């Protein structure tokens, strides 16, 4: 088993956004928060910082943020022509 480490700022940010994507997906689907820091407002705010868009409060805004984050992750997942494992 090989341990994956993220050492560059790009790969660290990609990992962070991937975790936020998973947390948003869980919250949208079940209403469960992953932990106390990952409130809906904090997750949407993190996505807004990356995409530059403001999102409405509520499930529609969260769904839009989730879709935009998925698109952002797909567009930014290569680094030096190597795909990051996501």
pLDDT at 17 over 80: yes
Residue 6 and residue 20: Cα distance in Å, rounded? 16
pLDDT at 83 over 70: no
Tell me whether residue 86 is in a domain: no
Tell me whether residue 51 is in a domain: yes
Segment 51-62, tens digit of pLDDT: 999 999 889 999
Helices (H) and strands (E) in the chain, counts: 3, 2
Number of domains in the chain: 1
Domain containing residue 50: 10-78
pLDDT at 75 over 90: no
Tell me whether residue 1 is in a domain: no
Tell me whether residue 35 is in a domain: yes
Please give the pLDDT value at position 76: 83
Please give the pLDDT value at position 25: 94
């Amino acid at each position: 088993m090989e341990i994956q480490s993220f050492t560059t700022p790009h790969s660290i940010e990609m990992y962070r956004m991937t975790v936020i994507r998973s947390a948003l997906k869980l919250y949208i689907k079940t209403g469960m928060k992953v932990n106390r820091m990952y409130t809906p407002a904090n997750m949407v705010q993190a996505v807004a910082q990356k995409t530059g868009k403001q999102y409405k409060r509520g499930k529609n805004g969260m769904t839009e943020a989730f879709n935009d984050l998925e698109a952002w992750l797909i567009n930014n997942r290569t680094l030096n022509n190597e795909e990051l494992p996501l």
